[in-house]
């Protein structure tokens, strides 16, 4: 009898421990952008008629590769030094907003506003595309 009780308690305990918690992951662009600090992990550009992109990330200084990009819920934007500082370079601050269809980030620094198309946005990855004069820049960020 004791064995049956012990076995029953053991089985109940194991079944409770094996239950997975259901986590709901948001797809809300605002929440995903403001969730955490972003770090650039890839950056390419492509000229007008050039069929293949050029890697710009590998040529960046190490102290720029680990910069932290932050979209705050109050619409403020900051780019600051990561663990490797470039010395006297100041951080960059501005404001940001999502377009009405939530497919673009409008980033304003000083009096200049640039538009970044959101190519991909997940819990841990942000990929943007931006047309700058004759170059198309594609940047990937993670946290």
Please give the chain's pLDDT, 143 residues, in tens.
555 554 455 555 556 555 555 567 788 999 999 999 999 999 999 987 777 899 999 999 998 999 999 999 999 999 998 898 888 777 899 999 999 999 999 999 999 999 999 999 999 999 999 988 888 999 999 98
| Closest listed residue to residue 82, CA positions, set 60, 103, 97 | 60
> In this predicted structure, what is the pLDDT of residue 18?
58
Q: Which of 48, 71, 62 is nearest to 126 (CA)?
A: 71
pLDDT of res. 25: 79
Neighbours of 32 (CB within 10 A): 19
Phi and psi at 91, nearest 5°, equal: -70, 170
- CATH homologous superfamily for the domain 26-142: Domain of unknown function DUF4822 (2.40.128.540)
């Amino acid at each position: 009898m004791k064995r049956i009780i012990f076995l029953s308690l053991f089985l109940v305990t194991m079944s409770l421990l094996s239950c997975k918690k259901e986590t709901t992951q948001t797809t809300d662009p605002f929440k995903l952008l403001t969730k955490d600090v972003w770090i650039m992990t890839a950056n390419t550009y492509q000229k007008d008629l050039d069929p293949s992109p050029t890697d710009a990330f590998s040529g960046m200084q190490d102290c720029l590769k680990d910069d932290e990009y932050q979209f705050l819920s109050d619409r403020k934007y900051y780019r600051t030094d990561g663990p490797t500082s470039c010395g006297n370079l100041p951080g960059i601050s501005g404001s940001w907003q999502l377009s009405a269809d939530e497919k673009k980030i409008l980033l304003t620094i000083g009096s200049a506003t640039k538009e970044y198309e959101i190519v991909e946005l997940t819990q841990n990855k942000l990929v943007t595309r931006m047309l700058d004069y004759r170059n198309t820049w594609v940047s990937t960020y993670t946290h």
